[in-house]
Structure 1
């Protein structure tokens, strides 16, 4: 179990470095590849699109490939993609190889909650906290070190490419398990041919909306916060350090909040409290980005620990490993489709207005919808109890749910989305 825990932690260190290193060097990449603001917005949107598309394939992969082998493959793809994207001068190839690297992360994002539930059923909150803490450490290290490494080697390519080595190291703890016959998901609770369909459940859509709204803020921050601080008068290196501060100041909370979520009887106060803290930081970034930078970064880091809380809730809303991976894949895939709008809209609005009030306004609306969806996922329940399960003898149970039905309960700010749905 210690080797499994070490492997999970080491893999988790890699899951945000590819994104935050790019955020810290976005200006240099834009100049080096001659990207417009809109194309730069596409570049910062690639993570969420890749996570949505490739994350959806994970349940299919898990049914055919043992988890250890799947993790080895995912980390290998991440390493190769990171290397290839820094040796090209083509914007299209850069985006394509970035998507390849992110495909490895997408599969791992979905797989880790299932592995935690299977390997550590009595400590899901604590282990989730440990691996999200590791994600934060990796994200902070990449944010802080990307610019100095690029300066030391005289190129932004080094500042991005060095993280491929970290992905290669993450393969090592999983090699012994990958080289022997692996264990697939146990399905003792349901028919072996059954499939859980979170798309037909209220829990599934509530988790997807919540995950998507918090991801809009998270990936917009990773992609654009350093640029906001540069525009407010900070040097590139200091802006990168401030971006790293979002994760550094949140480190104790990244461990505490998931453990707390796994133990408290009522999730609503925790989720709404973290959402409110994030809202205060947006207001501060809008009115005093330079004078209060450290305070806003600290609050933003604390508020964004709602992400590891969401991973714990995925496990709490499923009875089985099958249910966990199905709910994780659905919530993350659909959620990241929502989230893909965030960095893109921020890039378009930033280029159109030349400022940060409009982009921050979009993030504030997403935060309001996040609060409403957070209330819904706080209600007790299990995806297996609501899911349409297809087995050998046909449908077993069906409870219809739609995105419009969930958005209808997230408050008045969701009305335009409700009508669109």
Structure 2
């Protein structure tokens, strides 16, 4: 029988320190399991006798999992509570990440990778909801912390992969396995949190619904495309850019650091873009500029890859501000909380599923042509599309009004 609010055990208030530890430990662990694969991708696929198509598949797994498994977040949270769903999923993540490097076949490696992405897929949806429910007056501060450590975790996963692997032929196994060990920290912290929050069902949705399909809203479509195109670039960068940079004559360790620099700029974007969206005039031009910078970054890698790779990494990193911008635009382009929830439920799952086509396409291009340049031209083209979608998403239009018109 479903527990009703009247019979639900009273949850104890979380202390500030425990809330910060919870957000810190889970946020920093949502990306390394995915971003640590890219810098050692050649070693991984080589160990299983695979090639570029396999690289594309592994690179596409995170957005595929975030899109498909993220749909399980709300049903699981209703059964287990927000905190219970997060704890349970990260236990599965620990098992997947610990066993993945020892997989005897590529198929098993992929299956264990999917298990390792379950927690991040649910966390993308549930952690912001958990913060909103339990943060109270600390919500803004906790959301800022979450945005920062999310980017930090992705950057650390990429930057440390090659150094952790070392020179040994099977060093990539240790580089990937360590994140399964680190996952023990959020599991323990969130288990403690669970003893205080109890079975914390998400709040019941408001009664009534604003009629109309979100496909009738140009703003909703633009935001979905913007989110998809930026995520496509991000996960192709994590998985394939290290190999492209290595082919251009850059050492594997430095290539991993350069990709980490791109991800690290997300720290800045997460801090500044919510304020920019709320206060800056000319927002459509600002948002569209991220697509322009993305095109410039890839063009630089094409025409002058070894002149200043750090410069091109920084340009691509600022172009990546499109991600925190898309997230911040979800509430900024809606009025009703119900429409906000519907918009988020469309933009993130559909956006991630569309983003998965990018790494698959990039892997196929690399396999067919053998040229990293083909991949960079493809990514530059997606940057041009991002420019158009970003401009439309940045226009001051409310999805609520577009649905009711």
Same fold (TM over 0.5): yes
Match for residue 71 of structure 1? 86
1:273, distance to aligned residue in structure 2 (A): 2.2
**Residue in structure 1 matching 2:263, options 247, 257, 267:** 247
1:285 aligns with 2:301: yes
| Alignment-derived partner of residue 379 in structure 2 | 363
Aligned mates of 1:171, 1:64 — CA distance in 2: 19
Aligned partner of 1:97 in structure 2 is: 112
Are residue 184 (structure 1) and residue 201 (structure 2) matched? yes
Distance in 1 separating the partners of 2:37 and 2:212? 35
Unmatched segments (≥5 aa) in structure 1: 388-397, 400-421
Q: Does 1:14 align with 2:14?
A: no
Alpha-carbon displacement from aligned partner over 1:370-394 (angstroms, at most 9, x marks no partner): 222223332445556666xxxxxxx
Deviations 1:260-306 (A, max 9, x none): 33444653233112222222111101111111201001111111122
- Matching residue within 316, 319, 330 for 1:300: 316
Distance in 2 of aligned mates of 1:164 and 1:252: 28
Aligned to 2:173: 157
Query: Does structure 2 conserve the Cα–Cα contact (< 8 Å) formed by 1:196 and 1:384?
Result: no
Distance change in 2, residues 1:371/1:346 (3 Å) = same
* Contact 2:147–2:267 under 8 Å retained in 1: no
* Kept after mapping to 2: 8 A contact 1:7/1:173: yes
Shift of 1:160: 0.5
* Distance apart, 1:251 and its partner CA: 3.3
Q: Given that residues 250 and 305 in structure 1 are in contact (C-alpha distance below 8 angstroms), is that contact kept between their aligned partners in structure 2?
A: yes
Equivalent residue, structure 1, for 2:274 = 258
Q: Deviations over 1:25-83 (max 9, x none)?
A: 00110221111211221111111111111112223333433211121122222222111
- Identify which of 41, 61, 65 aligns with 1:26: 41
Q: 2: CA distance between counterparts of 1:118 and 1:318?
A: 20
Alignment RMSD (CA, Å): 2.8
TM-score (norm 2): 0.86
- 2:351 maps to 1:335: yes
For residue 107 of structure 1, give the secondary structure of its aligned residue in structure 2.
Answer: helix
Q: Structure 1, residues 156-193: CA drift from partner, whole Å, max 9, x if none?
A: 111001011222212233223423433333347425xx
CA distance in 2, matches of 1:63, 1:321: 19
Counterparts of 2:221 and 2:119, CA distance in 1:
25
Matched, 1:207 2:223: yes
Alignment-derived partner of residue 310 in structure 1: 326
Listed one character per residue, the Cα deviations across residues 336-365 of structure 1 (whole Å, up to 9, x for unaligned) are 121111111111111222222221222122
Listed as ranges, the matches of 1:74-223 within 5 Å are: 74-119=89-134, 127-151=142-166, 155-179=171-195, 180-187=197-204, 189-191=206-208, 199-202=214-217, 203-223=219-239
Q: Quick check: 149-158 or 104-113, which moved more? A: 149-158
Structure 2 unaligned blocks of 5 or more: 1-14
Does structure 2 retain, via aligned residues, the 8 Å contact 1:198–1:383?
A: no
**Equivalent residue number for residue 237 of structure 1:** 253
8 Å contact from structure 1 (residues 111, 325) kept in 2 = no
Give the whole-Å Cα distance in 2 for the aligned partners of 1:176 and 1:321. 30
Shift of 1:123: 8.0
After TM superposition, give the deviation of residue 309 of structure 1 in Å. Answer: 1.7
Output aligned runs, 1:53-64, within 5 Å: 53-64=68-79
Name the CA shift for 1:208/1:253 in 2 (closer, same or farther; >3 Å). closer
Name the CA distance, whole Å, in 1 between partners of 2:93 and 2:336. Answer: 29
Change (3 A) 1:77 1:165: same
SS at match of 2:199: coil
Distance 1:286 1:148 in 2: 27
Whole-angstrom CA distance in 1 between matches of 2:130 and 2:216 = 23
CA distance in 1, matches of 2:330, 2:138: 14
